[in-house]
Structure 1
Amino acid sequence: MFVLKNAWAAVMRRKWRSLLTLLIALLVTFGSMFGLAVTAENETANGATYDAQQANATITLSDKGFAERDGADPSWPDDHLMSWDDYTAFATAAQSAGLQFSYTVTESVPVRQSESIKPVGTADEASADDTGGELTLRGFYTLDAARANDLGRYRVVEGKHLSYAGRAPKGALISREVADANGLKIGDTFTVGHPTDAGTTLEMTVRGIYEYVDDEAPSGRGDDAELSKDNRQNAIYVSAYTFIVSNNLDSGEETGWAKPDLNIMFMLSSPDDYQSFVKAAKKADAELKDGYEISSPSLEAYRKSIAPLGALNDTMRITMIALWVAGGLLLVALVVSDGLRRREEIGYALTVGVSKARLGWQFMLEVWMVILPAFAIGALAGGFAAGPLGAALADGHATSMTADVVWTVVGAGLGCCLALALVAMLRVAAFRRISLFDSRSEVTA
């Protein structure tokens, strides 16, 4: 009890030094808990969680291929667009590699503006006879196809989503910008012109109004589009039933811009299967047309979703190193400097009969009285704050606390507490009784 009382009195005599020590230890512990939780979550997101993702594979124009495309050349689709036969070759290659997959389809054609609906954004210099039209009509076979839309994910903010069962044969989704520019609302009808026959019109009904979830459009598909049909705000989304049955836009005999831009998406079970699909496609007779590439919208979307987590992990890795180095050095410096300042106190205690073991134990307790509460508070605060703080800094991606992180911090923290206490105790152990007479000898001399 005597040692404990003396230790507490010593801590209270040096309040500012004790408070500074407590704050440093608390900060290092909190930062370690949160940083290691971010690291663990990032490893899981890029490891087990990534491996469990269902992957899809599409064969579409790359950004470079799209930039080199001549959107005002009526002969371009006949020479460059992928056909059903082209996709069949890739499907055959995947089957030969033993891959199991399903598929869904998206088809697109440009359509001409009318008095009832006009595009927004870029004003075309070329005529609709050359471009096929100022708007794009895109048909989705399934909801999966709509979710993999290469123009960006969208949400319906008014009205209803598309019906893929043919229950709304004329239902269409238009963008908020196009709806506002043309004064269109839910239930209104509008007409667009056929891409190669200005005299043929297609009538549709506004079923819903959409907005894109992502603010940034793909290159050449936003405000930077050279042709209005390429601006994603001018996309009209319909179901495959509306595209094929109601409007007869895929009879197999179309040419020019009336030929549908076909995008068959292969749906695979894992990222490994996606890589196998890519390898099989390269080895088989299936040949990519110029400007096309194989990609996985689902895996790209997943990587994009965890990118903020990766950036936070990079930041926290540097922050933790800085905390460990600076915090460790400061704590050691505070403990050592405190011991050096107490030469006379140590000498007096030894002179009146206090043993080095007892005094060393007191010095160790002084360290623990400050460090251990700071460690406990920092660990608890870091553990409870990891989830919400991670969500706030990683764009909604929560960083949950795991048992491995907790035990790592507890083990390392207790080890550091013991090390600092031993440093304090060594000051007593290294004290030489004869040094008490050094100053007196100097005066005598």
Structure 2
Amino acid sequence: MSDLLRSSRMGWRACVAFAAVVAALSACSGGVPTYAPDYERPSRELTPTFEGAPVLPPPDLTDDGPGSLVRVEPVSGNASFDNSNSTAVRIVYRSTSGAAGTPTEVSGLVAVPPGQPPAGGWPVVSFGHEMIGVQPKCAPSLVGDFLGYAGQMTTFLNRGYVVVLSDFQGLGIEGQPHSVVDSAALGNNMIDAARAARRVLPSAGTRWAAFGVGEGGLAAWAAAERAPTYGAGLEMVGSVAVSPYADLTPLVDAAAAGTLAPGEQSRLYMLALQSLANTSPGFDLDAYRTGLATERWATVTDCAPRNPNEALRLLTEIPRDDFRPRDAGATDDLRRRLGDAAVPTGPPAPGSVPVLVIYGTDDAVVPAAGIDRAVVRACAEGDPVEVMRRIGDSKPVNDQVIGSALSWLLARFDGQQLGDVCVGAT
């Protein structure tokens, strides 16, 4: 992976958010261990780098369906993992697509904490990353610093969790389409990532939780919804969905009215459209773009543009009218397609998994109105949902969000019952 590609990916808002999350997580946890300047670090050629880092057994490569491993590769030289005495591997594992339900292969990262596992095995946290792009090269696991996610993972590693980060279907592996709105595929990928972690480390337990932001928030919510039926053999204790793409239909209304916010909200709309073009038969992408939107589409939807600042300028200069649907029929069709992709997808199954939904009312990218609708539907269906609705907040992640998420997940692993189901739902 070239330095150019790494730096290009860091140009978008999502990468700025990654850095904020890392800082917030470190603040909540006390950060990764630090050492005096004269600390003599062991040679990078040693494996593992630090004495005490766990040595993993040979992986179980038995092919028995979703969650089984295809390939395992060691990760070395990452400061966050090294400083926490953790061991990490890049994996390719089997999963299931969304609508078609066909077998797929997905890449990702698994990181293992040092020490002895508790009774019942290490608990597992499955991370869902923010929207990056829809091209195979956009996978976090392909970048040397993993777009900052190693720092986030380390916070949970230091608390005694095995952590797995899925790239999601179509990112990291050629030949499979990626969609930022395919909740079924994203949820399956999160569940199967937890299964794959247990194949990497047999001492990982069956109890697990999900945490995700944006696209990853949709994945985390979808995983909780699908766990009772698709997640057999595992016990999912809870899910935290931060600013999830739970219902993006308000973007359609904004595009039709010419009020779509320039910048990252426009890019989210574009990648949602590109996702449908990649995965939804009969979808006409040109019914939703004209002029500069069409001309600059490839550049501004690229997760690794040659010049990120120039790409951002090109994005913000696209007139809002260039995103208007062609006619009322196209508007209705797009609203229907994004509505079909929204969560919840139906009444809760027996054994429903609790979900904490966290979002800001003034988020400039993810429309709060869509999350409001999703929460109201979930509560009406009887889903076990807790809501942290941050009035006036425009940022998806801050210290309060991370602290609340960590405490909430710990309570779920401890078996505590939800205290405020649907309080704060509008």
Same fold (TM over 0.5): no
* The structure with more helix, counted as a fraction of residues: 1
Q: Which of the five TM-score ranges fits, normalised by the shorter chain?
A: under 0.3
